[in-house]
Amino acid sequence: MTTTARAHTNIALVKYWGKRDAALMLPQTDSLSLTLDEFYTTTTVNFNQALNEDQFYLDGELVSANKAQKVVKFMDLVRQLSGRTEYAQITSVNNVPMAAGLASSASAFAALAGAAAKDAGLDLSLKDLSRLARRGSGSATRSVYGGLVEWHRGVDDATSFAEPVQEVPDFDIAMLAILVDTSQKKVSSRGGMQLVVETSPYYPAWREVVKRDMVAIKEAIANRDLPTIGHIAQENALRMHALNLAADPGFTYFDGQTILAMQTIDRLREEGLNCYYTMDAGPNVKVIFDPKDQDDLLNALTPLFGAERLVVAKPGPGIEFLTEP
Ligand code: DP6
C-alpha cells in the first residue's frame, strides 16, 4: 500500500520556545498558531518488505542516512506503535514559493505522521495524529489542523495535543513573509530553545507571559479584533527573542534586514496600516495584516526588499489525505 498526506506549515502567534521533556517532546508552555495555505509538504509512505533500511527522498533526492536520522527515528516510533517491522520508502516534496526560507519541520512532520500512521494501518483520530506529529517536531503538533490552532502543553504524552480554535477564521487575517535570508539557519530551534531553558534568567517570566498571552489572544480572536491579535503576537515574538539575547552564550536570529523590516512595519502601522510582525528561529519576518491593506503594504515593502522576497499567504487547511492518481 502507498499513502500520501499533505500538511501546511504554521506560524506561531504565541510561540512555543522550550521543552520540558525532550524525549516525549513535551513543551514548557501552550502555544497558538495560524496554518498557512501557501506553504506545504506532500509526503508519500510505502512500507516495503524488500527494503533493508528506510529510504527518504526529499524534493527528488535521496537523503543520506546520517541526515535522515530524525525521520528514521520517527519511523521507528510508528513501527513500535503499529507492530509493523518493514522499512519504508518516504518521498517528501516541499511546496515553498522560493528556495528554502520557509521550509518547515511543522508541515514536514505533520505530513509524515499522517502518511506513515495510515500506511502502517494505524487508525488515529486527529487528536492522536497531533500527538504523534509532536514526536517529530513540536510545531508539527499544530499543523494537523487548519486556521487558528492551540497546542495544549498538557501534563504528559496523552494530554499534550493541538486543537482548533477556529479552523476557518471568521474574520480577515493574512500573513506576508519578508524573506530577508533564505539560507539554512545557524542555530537550530531545537538547540536554541534548549539553551534558553537552561540558561536564560528570564525563562520563568516567559512562562507567565505565555499564560497571559494565551488568554488574551483567544479573547481577541473571539472578538475578531485583528489589532489586538497582532499586538499580542508582536510583543510575544519580541519577548521570545529577548530570551535568546539573555541566554549564555547570548545569541540572536536577527540580522540587519530583520531589524529594517521590523522598523518598517512599525512605521507603516503608525501611518495607519493594520500590520504587525513576528519572527521565528531565523531572520525572516512574517507580517500579520488585514488583507484590505495588502496593496499598500506591498507598495511600501517592494522598494526596500524586492517583490521576489515578499510572499503573501492566507489561512490554510489542516491535514489532507490524497488518493493516488
Ligand atoms: C520559533 O518545532 O522547529 O517556530 O520541537 O525541536 O522540532 P522542535 O522545534 P520546532 O520549534 C519551533 C519554534 C518556533 C515557534 C513555534 O513554532 O511555536
Tell me, what's the pLDDT at 97? 62
29 lines ligand 1 (CB under 6 A): no
Which ligand 1 atom is the nearest neighbour of the CA of 134?
Answer: 5
Mean pLDDT, all residues of the chain: 95
Mutate-to-test residue for ligand 1 from 24, 35, 184, 189, highest number of ligand atoms within 8 A of CB: 189
| pLDDT cut 90: percent of the chain above it | 92
Cell numbers found for residue 113: 505522521
Which ligand 1 atom is the nearest neighbour of the CA of 137?
Answer: 7
Q: Which residue's alpha carbon is at the smallest distance from atom 6 of ligand 1?
A: 190
Segment 234-251 mean pLDDT = 98
pLDDT above 60: residue 161: yes
281 lines ligand 1 (CB under 6 A): yes
Confidence of residue 325 (pLDDT cuts 50, 70, 90): very low
Which ligand 1 atom is the nearest neighbour of the CA of 33?
Answer: 18
16 lines ligand 1 (CB under 6 A): yes
**Under a CB-based contact definition with an 8 Å cutoff, are residues 320 and 41 in contact?**
no
Tell me, what's the pLDDT at 104? 82
Q: Which residue's alpha carbon is at the smallest distance from atom 12 of ligand 1?
A: 139
86 C-alpha vs ligand 1 centroid, how far in Å?
Answer: 30
- Looking only at the bridges linking them, the beta strands covering 55-58 and 87-95 are parallel
| Phi, psi angles (nearest 5°) of residue 94 | -95, 130
Q: Which residue has the higher pLDDT, 188 or 4?
A: 4
Tell me, what's the pLDDT at 181? 81
In tens, the pLDDT along 74-130 reads: 999 999 999 999 999 999 999 976 544 566 899 999 999 999 999 999 999 999 999
Residues making up the chain, counted from first to last: 325
Segment 160-188 mean pLDDT = 91
pTM of the model: 0.97
Confidence of residue 324 (pLDDT cuts 50, 70, 90): low
| pLDDT cut 70: percent of the chain above it | 96
Which ligand 1 atom is the nearest neighbour of the CA of 16?
Answer: 18
Which ligand 1 atom is the nearest neighbour of the CA of 104?
Answer: 3
139 lines ligand 1 (CB under 6 A): yes
280 lines ligand 1 (CB under 6 A): yes
Tell me, what's the pLDDT at 291? 98
Mutate-to-test residue for ligand 1 from 25, 134, 139, 190, highest number of ligand atoms within 8 A of CB: 139
135 C-alpha vs ligand 1 centroid, how far in Å?
Answer: 12
- DSSP conformation letters of 118-178: HHTT----HHHHHHHHHHH-GGGGGGGS-SEEEE---SSGGG--EEEEESS-SS--EEEEE
Q: Which residue's alpha carbon is at the smallest distance from atom 11 of ligand 1?
A: 189
In tens, the pLDDT along 252-298 reads: 999 999 999 999 999 999 999 999 999 999 999 999 999 999 999 99
Task: Determine the Cα–Cα distance for residues 163 and 192; give it in Å rounded to an integer.
Answer: 26
174 C-alpha vs ligand 1 centroid, how far in Å?
Answer: 21
Tell me, what's the pLDDT at 100? 42
Confidence of residue 38 (pLDDT cuts 50, 70, 90): confident
In tens, the pLDDT along 204-224 reads: 999 999 999 999 999 999 999
17 C-alpha vs ligand 1 centroid, how far in Å?
Answer: 7
Cell numbers found for residue 224: 475578531
Tell me, what's the pLDDT at 297? 98
